[in-house]
Amino acid sequence: MASPPVSEEPTTAVVVPIRSFEGALSRLEHVLGRSGCRDLMRRMAGRVVAAAGGLPVHVATDDTEVAAWATDLGAEVLAVGRPGLNIAVSVAVDRLAAAGVERAVVAHADLALARTLRPAVGPGLVIVPDGHRDGSNVVCVPTGCGFRFAYGPGSFARHVAEAERLQLAVTVVQDGALASDIDHPEDLLALPAQDRLALGVDSLAVSP
């Protein structure tokens, strides 16, 4: 008797776009200082890379410092060549498609509580919004579907609308760890204890 066909999981890779560590988290500079913002950005980005688990990670950047950091962590570097988050993600996803990767998980680098990106992996559009259901912290899409990324304020609604245009099934994942990003001083209070200690956050006034 012939064995039943074995269904294979679509090949999946993670994209983490990082423009630069220099100038990152500028809204927090008056609280952490420039060096503190750099340190926090590297800490969070490293946590996001680790959260990929066994999935290959591609860091989309044209910054030499970020590229060296990513290489040290075992991630692949995708040079973008043009500025802009939407362009960086689109270029990275297109290159993954050309390499035979079927599905891309795009994760922001400032997800301070990220432990695993696995809840965001699935068919169609899988999207993890931020806590305000406004931004798109993690997005998973088929690489070859022509998905038009539209990050910025209100991106959650735009990405859902884009999936509907492409007739992709939409799965919204509510994940507290992946929904937590660091944009404002009060967000620093949600950092893990070791980060707050290293950055001296507990001794700072971080209220709005």
Q: How many helices (H) and strands (E) does the chain have?
A: 6, 7
Distance, CA of 11 to CA of 53 (rounded, Å): 14
Distance, CA of 62 to CA of 88 (rounded, Å): 9
* 145-183 pLDDT, tens digit each: 999 999 999 999 999 999 999 999 999 999 999 999 888
Pick left, alpha or beta for residue 146 (phi over 0 → left; psi -120 to 50 → alpha; otherwise beta): left
Q: Which residue has the tokens 């939407």?
A: 86
**Banded model confidence at residue 108, pLDDT cuts 50, 70, 90:** very high
- The answer to whether residue 67 scores a pLDDT higher than 90 is yes
Pick left, alpha or beta for residue 129 (phi over 0 → left; psi -120 to 50 → alpha; otherwise beta): beta
What is the mean pLDDT of the segment spanning 122-137?
96
Q: Which of the 8 DSSP states describes residue 53?
A: T
Amino acid letter, 93: V
For 134, the 3-state DSSP assignment is coil
Give the pLDDT score at 197: 87
Give the pLDDT score at 186: 86
Thinking of the domain 12-197, which architecture would CATH place it in? Alpha-Beta Complex (3.90)
The number of residues in the chain equals 208
Distance, CA of 90 to CA of 25 (rounded, Å): 23
**Banded model confidence at residue 206, pLDDT cuts 50, 70, 90:** low
Domain ranges of the chain: 12-197
Dihedral (CA of 103, 109, 110, 116) sign? positive
- The answer to whether residue 2 scores a pLDDT higher than 80 is no
| Percent of the chain predicted with pLDDT > 90 | 75
Give the pLDDT score at 190: 87
Give the pLDDT score at 8: 65
- The answer to whether residue 105 scores a pLDDT higher than 60 is yes
Check if the beta carbon of residue 94 is closer than 8 Å to that of residue 103. no
